[in-house]
C-alpha cells in the first residue's frame, strides 16, 4: 500500500476492514450527490466499476471516500498548481481520522455534510447552484445575436428571446400582457435588465449592449458552471480566517474590512489589468506611509517612463535617484497621499491615487497590479483611529514628507479572485476578466466557458 494516507487510515484501524454493505451503500449515495457541490461524482468513484475482489473493493471505497472528503474540506484542485502565484493559506483537515470516526459512529452523511465551508456565503452559492441546475434542465435556446444595442423604448426582434432568457436565469418580468412576446422594450423587461446588470457589476442603465447579451447567452447552465468554480475557490480557504483582516476581491474590485470578526467597511478598488494581473496572495501589513514616494519598478520604468520627455517628467515630479525613477511626494504622486505597506515578495500593496474618477466606473481593472483604494485617506484614518495612532497619521500627512506610521495591529490582507460572490443579500456574478475560471474549470473537468473578448486599453495610466 503505497498511499501514505491510506496506510495511516488502516493502521489506525489495526488493518481492519472499513466497509460493509450498509456503509458502502451510504458512501455511493453521498458521492453520487457530489454535483450539488459542483463536483463530478466520476472524479471520485464509478459505482458501476467497483471491483468484485473484496480487498480491491475495500481499497477503492476508502480511496474514493478520502478523496471526496478532501475535496469538500480543502478543494479538489490544488490552487498553487493552477495559479502563477497563490500564497493564501489553504484549509486544513485530517479526513482520515474523521472518516474513521464517522464509520465507527455510523454517521457518514452528517460527517461529509460538515466538511464544506459552513458559511452564509457558501450556503447561498450552493442554493443558487441547485436553482440554476434545475433551470438548466428545461432551458433550450439559440444564442441571442449581439447586434446593435437596444435602448428603452425601442422595438427589436430579439426581445422575446431576451425576455425568455431573463426569466430562465431568475429575472421574471411579471404578468404584463405582452410578457411572452414583447414588441417594445419598455416597462418590466427594462427593470429586469437593470437588475441583471446590477448583479453583474455593469452600469444598470437598461441598455442591452454586448456585455448584457453575453451574460444572457450564458443561460442557467453557464451560471451553474461559474458557481461550481466559485464554490471550489471557497473550499480552498481556511475555515477560521483571521478575525481582523482585509479581503480584496480582485474580480469584483471590492474591498471588505473585518475587525474582530465583524464586517466594518466595504469600498471600491481598482485592480490589475488583464495583462498585469493582481496575484492571489495573503500578506500582512502594519505600516501606513504618509506622502509616499513612488519608486518605479524597472518593468514600468522601461516601458512607460523612460520614453517620456523631460518636460513631462518635471511636470509630474519625477526625478532620477540611485539609478531609478522616483516620483516625489505630493498630490500628483501615483500612490496618492497614503500607502498601505504590505510585506510580500510580489511587491503588491494598497494605496491612494489621484485618479479618483475610476472608482465610479463599473469596470475597474486599470492598474499595473497593485490595489488602489477608494477614499484611501478615510480608510487609513479608520485604521489609525481603531489602533489609537490617528494623531500620528495626521501629523505625518501634514508634514508633506514621506513618513511611516506604525500600526499596533498587524492586519493580513487577502487578494482573492472570486467571479461569483454573495454580497450579504444577493449572489452576484462578474466577468472572468483574467481568464482564471477556465483554468480551475478544466481541472474540475467542466466544459470550457465562453471565449473572452480581447482586452481594450482605456487611456494611458502609468500608476502602479
Q: What mean pLDDT value characterizes the chain? A: 92
Identify the weakest region by mean pLDDT among 35-39, 163-167, 450-454.
450-454
- Of the pLDDT bands very low, low, confident and very high (cuts 50, 70, 90), residue 378 is very high
Percent pLDDT > 70 in the chain is 95
- Of the pLDDT bands very low, low, confident and very high (cuts 50, 70, 90), residue 328 is very high
- Of the pLDDT bands very low, low, confident and very high (cuts 50, 70, 90), residue 453 is low
Environment class of residue 330 by beta-carbon count within 10 Å: exposed (0-12), middle (13-18) or buried (19+)?
middle
Nearest Cα to Cα of residue 337 among 407, 403, 408: 403
| C-alpha cell, 208 | 442591452
Residue 464, pLDDT score? 75
CATH superfamily for 241-293+329-429 is L,D-transpeptidase catalytic domain-like (2.40.440.10)
CATH 1.10.101.10 fits 126-229, yes or no: yes
- What is the pLDDT averaged over residues 412-417? 98
| C-alpha cell, 388 | 489609537
Does residue 236 carry a pLDDT above 70?
yes
Asked whether the beta carbons of 220 and 453 are under 8 A apart, the reply is no
Predicted confidence (pLDDT) per residue in 203-217, tens digit: 899 999 988 999 999
Residue 201, pLDDT score? 86
Domain boundaries defined on the chain: 4-116, 126-229, 241-293+329-429
Predicted confidence (pLDDT) per residue in 131-159, tens digit: 999 999 988 888 999 889 999 999 999 99
Predicted confidence (pLDDT) per residue in 350-366, tens digit: 999 999 999 999 899 99
Q: Which of helix, strand or coil describes residue 175?
A: coil
Predicted confidence (pLDDT) per residue in 44-77, tens digit: 999 889 999 999 999 999 999 999 999 999 999 9
Environment class of residue 117 by beta-carbon count within 10 Å: exposed (0-12), middle (13-18) or buried (19+)?
buried
Buried b (16+ CB within 10 A) or exposed e, 1-18: eeeeeeeebbeeeeeeeb
Residue 459, pLDDT score? 60
Predicted confidence (pLDDT) per residue in 180-195, tens digit: 567 899 999 999 999 9
Dihedral of alpha carbons 148, 152, 154, 155, sign: positive
Pairwise CA distance, residues 320 & 327, whole Å: 9
Q: What CA–CA distances, in Å, run from 2 to 8, 36, 59, 71, 449?
A: 11, 32, 12, 21, 37
Residue 307, pLDDT score? 84
Does residue 452 carry a pLDDT above 70?
no
- Of the pLDDT bands very low, low, confident and very high (cuts 50, 70, 90), residue 449 is confident
Residue 175, pLDDT score? 63
Pairwise CA distance, residues 464 & 238, whole Å: 30
3-state secondary structure 38-79: CCCHHHCCCHHHCCCCHHHHHHHHHHHHHHHHHHHHHCCCCH
Amino acid at each position: 500500500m503505497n498511499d501514505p494516507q491510506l496506510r495511516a487510515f488502516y493502521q489506525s484501524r489495526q488493518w481492519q476492514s472499513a466497509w460493509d454493505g450498509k456503509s458502502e451503500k451510504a458512501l455511493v449515495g453521498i458521492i453520487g450527490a457530489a454535483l450539488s457541490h459542483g463536483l463530478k461524482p466520476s472524479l471520485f468513484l464509478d459505482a458501476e466499476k467497483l471491483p468484485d475482489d473484496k480487498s480491491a473493493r475495500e481499497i477503492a471505497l476508502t480511496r474514493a471516500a478520502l478523496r471526496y472528503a478532501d475535496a469538500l474540506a480543502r478543494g479538489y484542485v490544488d490552487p498553487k498548481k493552477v495559479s502563477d502565484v497563490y500564497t493564501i493559506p489553504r484549509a486544513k483537515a485530517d479526513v482520515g481520522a474523521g472518516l474513521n470516526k464517522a464509520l465507527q459512529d455510523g454517521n457518514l452523511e452528517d460527517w461529509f455534510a460538515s466538511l464544506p465551508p459552513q458559511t452564509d456565503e457558501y450556503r447561498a452559492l450552493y442554493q443558487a447552484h441547485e436553482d440554476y441546475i434545475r433551470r438548466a434542465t428545461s432551458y433550450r435556446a439559440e444564442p441571442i445575436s449581439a447586434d446593435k444595442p437596444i435602448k428603452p423604448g425601442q422595438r427589436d426582434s430579439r426581445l422575446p428571446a431576451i425576455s425568455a432568457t431573463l426569466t430562465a436565469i431568475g429575472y421574471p418580468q411579471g404578468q404584463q400582457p405582452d410578457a411572452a412576446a414583447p414588441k417594445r422594450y419598455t416597462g418590466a423587461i427594462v427593470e429586469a435588465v437593470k437588475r441583471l446588470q446590477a448583479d453583474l457589476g455593469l452600469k444598470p442603465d437598461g441598455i442591452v449592449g454586448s456585455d448584457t447579451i453575453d451574460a444572457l447567452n450564458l443561460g442557467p447552465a453557464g451560471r451553474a458552471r461559474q458557481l461550481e468554480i466559485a464554490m471550489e475557490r471557497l473550499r480552498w480557504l481556511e475555515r477560521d480566517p483571521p478575525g481582523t483582516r482585509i479581503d480584496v476581491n480582485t474580480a469584483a474590485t471590492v474591498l471588505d474590512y473585518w475587525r474582530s470578526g465583524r464586517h466594518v467597511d466595504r469600498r471600491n478598488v481598482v485592480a490589475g489589468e488583464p495583462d498585469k494581473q493582481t496575484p492571489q496572495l495573503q500578506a500582512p501589513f502594519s505600516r501606513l506611509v504618509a506622502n509616499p514616494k513612488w519608486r518605479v519598478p524597472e518593468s514600468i520604468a522601461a516601458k512607460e517612463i523612460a520614453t517620456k520627455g523631460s518636460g513631462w517628467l518635471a511636470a509630474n515630479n519625477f526625478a532620477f535617484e540611485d539609478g531609478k525613477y522616483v516620483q516625489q511626494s505630493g498630490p500628483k504622486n501615483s500612490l496618492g497621499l497614503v500607502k498601505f505597506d504590505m510585506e510580500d515578495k510580489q511587491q503588491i500593496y494598497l494605496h491612494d491615487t489621484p485618479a479618483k474618477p475610476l472608482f465610479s466606473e463599473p469596470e475597474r481593472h486599470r492598474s499595473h497590479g497593485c490595489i488602489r483604494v477608494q477614499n484611501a485617506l478615510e480608510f487609513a484614518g479608520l485604521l489609525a483611529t481603531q489602533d489609537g495612532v490617528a494623531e500620528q497619521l495626521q501629523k505625518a500627512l501634514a508634514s508633506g514628507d514621506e513618513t511611516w506610521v506604525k500600526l499596533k495591529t498587524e492586519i493580513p490582507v487577502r487578494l482573492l479572485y472570486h467571479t461569483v460572490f454573495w454580497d450579504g443579500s444577493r449572489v452576484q456574478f462578474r466577468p472572468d476578466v483574467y481568464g482564471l475560471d477556465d483554468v480551475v474549470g478544466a481541472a474540475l473537468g467542466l466544459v470550457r466557458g465562453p471565449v473572452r473578448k480581447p482586452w481594450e486599453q482605456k487611456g494611458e495610466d502609468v500608476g502602479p
